[in-house]
Structure 1
């Protein structure tokens, strides 16, 4: 690798470390720990995942029903309404918005829109 590439990667690591020092990241980590330490939330996550896997299998085998979909949606709504999980999802969304803003700042001076280039290259 060239010296410039090494420096860019170093700057990337420094940026990552700086992100871990933001209030958004701290709130996310705190909310994540709360979810991981909450037995009720963990039980509801397991219930939701089980119902979702069941439904996905039913869908693959052509046996999916509206009732099955509604069970999955209901379990997800119940999970998302739990205070610790709701706080986690909000913290995740806030951190994601911060990361998107950082990505836009990085992309601004570049002539390439990486999101727009996903489907192909070199459109006139």
Structure 2
């Protein structure tokens, strides 16, 4: 897909149109499609869903204990164990790999978009200069 524009013809509408076209093109990337497939597989996997629910409950309990200064090393070990068991499921391993691949590809695109800019396109613009 090749989109060429004369900078003299650039308007807010054309920039928004280009951004929309980029978003649509990203959905056609193999990395995005693999991520969507892996996500659907996780959502359809009963064991993965049970482990996710267990992990979320343990994480929530840990966060509450931490906020009340009642969390200890055993609580942290329990949380890490639940996360490890979740991530060791083959369907989750595939999902996490697909997510990582997509994030890397999006970072590459971010760098290309950011190249002509004085700020990082993907970073949050702060109220002050960032170095």
TM-score (norm 1): 0.91
Cα distance in structure 2, aligned partners of 1:122 and 1:49: 35
Aligned partner of 1:90 in structure 2 is 97
Q: How many residues of Structure 1 are paired with residues of Structure 2 in the alignment?
A: 121
Aligned partner of 1:121 in structure 2 is 129
Matches within 5 A, 1:69-80: 69-80=76-87
Aligned partner of 1:66 in structure 2 is 73
Cα distance in structure 1, aligned partners of 2:13 and 2:128: 28
Supply the RMSD in Å over aligned alpha carbons.
1.8
Aligned partner of 2:49 in structure 1 is 42
Aligned partner of 2:113 in structure 1 is 106
- 1:59-93 deviations in Å (ceiling 9; x for gaps): 11110010000000000000001000010000000
- 1:2-52 deviations in Å (ceiling 9; x for gaps): x71111111011001001001101100100000000000000000000000
Cα distance in structure 2, aligned partners of 1:27 and 1:9: 27
- In structure 1, the gaps of 5 or more residues are none
Cα distance in structure 2, aligned partners of 1:34 and 1:62: 38
- In structure 2, the gaps of 5 or more residues are 1-9
Cα distance in structure 1, aligned partners of 2:67 and 2:108: 38
Q: Give the secondary-structure state (helix, strand or coil) at the position aligned to 2:75.
A: helix
Aligned partner of 1:11 in structure 2 is 18
Q: Give the secondary-structure state (helix, strand or coil) at the position aligned to 1:15.
A: helix
